[in-house]
Amino acid sequence: MCLEGEQSAVQDTKAVQVPEWNSEEFVEQQTLAGHVFYKYSGELVVPFNQATTYQLFRLDNQMKLVLVNDMQAEQSAASLVVNVGSSSDPQGIPGIAHALEHLLFMGTEKYPEEHDFEAFLTKYGGYTNASTNQLVTEYYFMINNEGLDGALDRFSQMFIAPLLRKDSIEREIQAIESEYRLDVHNDRQRAGHICQTTRCPQNKLSNFMGGNQKTLNSQERDLQEQLQEFFKQEYGADNMQLVVVAGGSLSNEKALVDRIVDLFSMVPKRPYKTDIAKQHPLCKQTLGTLLRYQTIGSEYSIAMEFALPEDNHMYSRDPKQYIQSLLEHEGPGSLQAFLRERSWMTSMQVSLAPAYGISPRVFEIIISATPQGFANYQEVVGSVFAFIRVVREHKVQEWYFRELQQSKQIAWLHGESMYPVTVAKALAIRMSNSWLKPEHVVSSSQLLYEYDPEAIADTMALFTPQNYRLCLGAQDIFSQESTLCKTEKYMEVRYSQDVLPEALTSDSGVESLLNSQDRQMLQFPQPNPYLTDCTLNATAEKTVSNANSNIDVFQAPQLLVRNEQCELWIRRLDSTGGAVERGSISLYIESTNALVTPRALILGDLLVRAIEKRCAAKLNLAQQAGIRARIWYSEHHLCIRVLGVQTGLQLLLQDILKQLWQLADNQVKIDVYLDEVERLSERMQLDASRVQALWQQHSLRAHPRWPVADWSRELHSVDAAALQAFVQEMLRLSYVGMLVVGQTDNEALRILEDARGVLKVKEPIPRVLRQHVRAVDILPGTYLSRFVVKNPKNADSAVSFAIYATSRNVGGRDDVGSQAALSLLAHIMETAFFDQLRTKEQLGYSVRCTYLASHLGGAGSLLLNVQGSCTPDYMCLRIEQFLIQFRSTLQGLTLSQLSALKQARATASLQMPFKVASITNFLWPQIDFGRYDFSHKHHIISRMLEMTLEELLRFWDTSVDPLRSGRRATRVVVQAWAYRGVPAMASEEVMMENPLPVIALHACLEQMGASEILLSDISRFVATSGLPLVPEDEDEDEDDEDSGELRLSIGEYQRRLAALYKAVVLEQAAGKKSLAEIDHMCTLIIKDRSFLRTALQMALEADQVVSSLLSSQPAHTPQHFSLPRTYAGAWIIPDHLCFKRMQPLCAPPSPTIRLLPKYPYL
């Protein structure tokens, strides 16, 4: 085996026989069109699911195909993986693989319209996406069953004859640049990037993955030719894996197979080549080094990277999984338990890079350290090697391997159903391992087939102090030990590389880092008590399969018990009332101190962390046995959920609940938890602009609900005594709600009684003291919330634009018709919104239109989100302009088109796999928030299917359209301004005195570098530009024959604006700028065809618009609130509490059904 990062071990794989895909087990067949293909006649290893079948084929062009038929699914999906990624980028063009991924969606010879594929998918309730990894690129889509044939046709053409047009390339490079900027300020992305690019430069896995505008745009080459050449060389059928998941019962399976074969047989076969570099990513020059890098936030990362050889041929016994499982173990004596006991670690992640493809591996142990742990990083490293030594001394334990094998069998063979697109993606990615035997194509590395102690021991021998690199990341890392010497050129990460000290690279050195007493605390795991014989028997001897097609996924649960102390709901999965192999228990504990203040929110978060850490060992063991647990603090409850194999659910739930009494009886050290929460709050405030805008939008929708800035200020006011008192009050006075899925009545009653027995609640909560989160019933108007993000690396701004259908403009706060209309409009608008603002206008990479429902009885909303480099003011205006223009698209829908869109939306909304997790997630919010409206989704869908075009247009005019709804609409607009954005966010005074289009035009000039021109100059220029614009499709500067009116083109106005700029600069900055510089800026202003031109046109036309944003007409409506207003009448929100104080609140959530328990006397 390889100890120094060389590739010698890779050569050993030649001795392993490559799977024979041309064997007699592949039976030749032929389509009616004459295309030859081969069907695998052997037996595939597949998961247990009576409703799903799998077939394996090989096309004549060597493409591998798996057809999955999920008879219960209402939707279908496909995924195609190309074994090409960023490591295949040609020298000097980082990002070309990523660029090609974008361009394949921009039209083909058969379907030349850009985004034709997305438009077709939208028509049938689907979506598509793609991603580029180091070694693979995946493309996938999901669609309602009736649209599968047309989708596959369009999908196949992407790999046969993409157009790769120059204008599309130019626009998609802007999208890639926007995507790149999203990553630049993300600490996780920056850490992965600096670790990857500082590995062996001779290995292509160290390439810059995504690319940006600078790497892709060059005067020295024709990018279109490069993309065409890259496509011809790399995108061959013999380098692809295709998975198609067909939903529903197939009336003619042979016809579907023939259709897929006919379509994808046209993908050309290319000369397949593998290019595994001679050097390992961790070569001799990289091993034994210390990488230090600076983070943006208060992160403390300790990562150990070990060099492992390429071992895809060993998937059937995969020795890495044995070692990975031991490192991830959290039981007594484990490495993680030891590091947590020392308060050195908050979490640990073990991963492989690259995750997929044929390549040597980097085995990563990534530790999120506490400040104390980071200061003692050498001892942390010593602890890792001490634990590895313990494992090595115990030799390979067969019983532990069998437990791991059994755990994987439970997860794979008896796991729950998944969405078709999830199945397709996972299977296509796993098929990228060319060493897979045909019978293992479906199961691949999801199972361990063989016990090979020698392979495990050989792999364990690679985990030595001589075969790793250490990476340390922190915000203040270089103030401690050394000075930074380099700045990485793509992500601008500051870093240094040094040789590791001898104490960290020798066996004796790492052994001396821990004393003997500490080393004795590290032990090999004990047998898993949750993973008993009955666990596997429960899956093998199931009473009823969870794939019961006779059960309605959306069926309401039954109320068994409801009194002053508790309520119990049950959802049976067996029509006979019996138990099934998998189930779930969800429980909430409501207390009088929940969510009243930001301080209570912090205490709730600390409580969750304390329970998780104290139960970490049991949660980890239960997960290995197929039982997952989740503990969280919702808006007004402590919630606990256990889900998986029935035999261990109640035991795990009781173990978790017992921790509450232990926390009530004993004060615990919370310094580590407080540090975690503090760093979480900082990360949230450094997050992407769009995420922060959404958080602010979320906080404005309900009360009490606290933004991160509010509760982060309370962090230093809590201590161990406060947490103890918080838990004591919860157990003194509380109310318990429970949902049991997959059990019998008697068993559910026993589970509730046992849980209450553990909690020992002393008193029920009087109804007058029960807490409720209430939706804000927002009054009509446009509300503007603005803030500057705190991340200094963030150059992008964002807008979250919410349009509400409130009680005052739809005739009912929870009106089903308005919810149906919003849901349908989001579906109809989604592709058009993306195409206009992202593809054509290039506002940013992240452009999305969604429908957001409310569980609190408040109004739903249409949510339009954009993140990009232009100012939020400009984004808001472009969103309004889109809404104004989109009405004509709505009005032009034919009856058949509208009917198809409604049906597609209905099918997509009701598509949910029959599995315990999905059913639980659907039911629980209604119980948690006290609405109990389990049929709400069906009511919305039914109302939507009945909706006429006239009704939809009436709703649009009343609630959405900026022109027709005027200032009667209810809209909340959140603007997140970039930290280092140019220009800066305008003051309230400026917003009150100037129309927003004028402000946006001035901002565009500032962004171009024309900062000398003042806002007052722009205001006068627009005010005195009295001549109307010529429509862009007419000739420039012509007289109107009917009216004799002179009209000017937008181009002429640009020339006039350039002249104004020149006059201002010559007057104000004489001698500071050369005439050549001034003329150059004037040329930019005149020739601009992007943001400036559009902003100028909006400013010139704004006097014709009556709107709270896009208009240049001052507002004359009454002043209802003591809030500042923009020139056109939008209310400026100073903070969320001020906004909520001026708005009425909806009534507390109340049951929508009669609550009649089956056992009223319990």
DSSP 353-394: ESSSSSS-EEEEEEEEE-HHHHHTHHHHHHHHHHHHHHHHHT
pLDDT of residue 892: 95
Which residue did the predictor score with more confidence, 983 or 900? 900
The partner residues of 740 in beta bridges, in order of sequence, read: 570, 585
Average pLDDT, integer, range 238-265: 94
Q: In the structure encoding, which two tokens stand for residue 313, read together?
A: 């041929």
pLDDT of residue 1147: 83
Long-range CB contacts for residues 891-895, cutoff 8 Å, separation at least 24:
891/949, 891/953, 893/828, 893/949, 895/949
Average pLDDT, integer, range 76-96: 93
Percentage with pLDDT > 70 across the chain: 90
Q: In the structure encoding, which two tokens stand for residue 976, read together?
A: 């997140």
User: What's the half-sphere exposure (Cβ side, CA atoms, 13 Å) at 751?
Assistant: 32
| Phi, psi (deg, nearest 5) at residue 1147 | -60, 155
pLDDT of residue 235: 96
CA dihedral over 565, 571, 572, 575, signed as positive or negative = positive
Average pLDDT, integer, range 800-811: 71
Q: Per-residue confidence at 250, pLDDT binned at 50, 70, 90?
A: confident
CA angle 849-854-857, nearest 5°? 145
pLDDT of residue 426: 93
Average pLDDT, integer, range 1023-1052: 65
Burial 618-630 (b: 16+ CB within 10 A, else e): bbbbbbbbbbebe
Q: In the structure encoding, which two tokens stand for residue 152, read together?
A: 């596959």
Q: Are 843 and 769 in contact (CB under 8 A)?
A: no
- Give the CA dihedral 324, 327, 329, 331, nearest 10 degrees: 160
Q: In the structure encoding, which two tokens stand for residue 359, read together?
A: 């390549």
Given phi > 0 = left and psi -120 to 50 = alpha, else beta, which region is 183? alpha
Q: Per-residue confidence at 540, pLDDT binned at 50, 70, 90?
A: very low
Q: What is the CA radius of gyration of the chain?
A: 31
Q: Per-residue confidence at 14, pLDDT binned at 50, 70, 90?
A: very low
Q: In the structure encoding, which two tokens stand for residue 185, read together?
A: 């300020």
With tokens 């050369």, the residue in question is 1074
pLDDT of residue 909: 86
User: What's the half-sphere exposure (Cβ side, CA atoms, 13 Å) at 639?
Assistant: 17
The whole-chain average pLDDT of the chain stands at 87
User: What's the half-sphere exposure (Cβ side, CA atoms, 13 Å) at 711?
Assistant: 27
Q: Are 710 and 737 in contact (CB under 8 A)?
A: no
Q: In the structure encoding, which two tokens stand for residue 456, read together?
A: 């495990």
Q: Per-residue confidence at 538, pLDDT binned at 50, 70, 90?
A: very low
Q: Are 863 and 882 in contact (CB under 8 A)?
A: no
Q: Are 503 and 545 in contact (CB under 8 A)?
A: no
**Residue 541 pLDDT > 50:** no
pLDDT of residue 312: 87
- Please name the helix (run of DSSP H) or strand (run of DSSP E) that holds residue 67, with its range, or none: strand 64-70
**Residue 439 pLDDT > 80:** yes
CA 1023 to CA 200: how far, in whole Å? 61
Average pLDDT, integer, range 50-71: 92
Which tens digits make up the pLDDT trace of 304-316?
A: 999 999 888 899 9
pLDDT of residue 965: 78
**Residue 1090 pLDDT > 90:** no
From the number of C-beta atoms within 10 Å of its C-beta (0-12, 13-18, 19+), residue 1035 rates as: exposed
**Residue 944 pLDDT > 60:** yes
CA 314 to CA 320: how far, in whole Å? 10
pLDDT of residue 1121: 64
Q: Are 737 and 590 in contact (CB under 8 A)?
A: yes
Q: Per-residue confidence at 1116, pLDDT binned at 50, 70, 90?
A: low
Average pLDDT, integer, range 1078-1094: 89
CA 638 to CA 631: how far, in whole Å? 8
Q: In the structure encoding, which two tokens stand for residue 578, read together?
A: 């019996």
Residue 510 has a CB neighbour count (10 Å cut-off) of 22
The DSSP call for residue 553 is T
Give every CB contact of residue 950 below 8 A, 6+ residues apart in sequence.
Answer: none
Q: In the structure encoding, which two tokens stand for residue 934, read together?
A: 């389990």
pLDDT of residue 817: 87
Which residue did the predictor score with more confidence, 346 or 16? 346
pLDDT of residue 19: 65
Which residue did the predictor score with more confidence, 49 or 1010? 1010
pLDDT of residue 389: 95
**Residue 456 pLDDT > 80:** yes
**Residue 1089 pLDDT > 90:** no
Which tens digits make up the pLDDT trace of 977-1032?
A: 998 766 889 999 999 899 999 999 999 999 888 888 999 999 999 888 766 777 65
Which tens digits make up the pLDDT trace of 201-249?
A: 888 888 898 899 999 987 667 899 999 999 999 999 999 999 999 998 8
Q: Per-residue confidence at 964, pLDDT binned at 50, 70, 90?
A: confident
Which tens digits make up the pLDDT trace of 459-504?
A: 999 999 999 999 999 998 876 555 567 889 999 899 999 999 999 9
pLDDT of residue 549: 47
pLDDT of residue 533: 53
From the number of C-beta atoms within 10 Å of its C-beta (0-12, 13-18, 19+), residue 921 rates as: middle
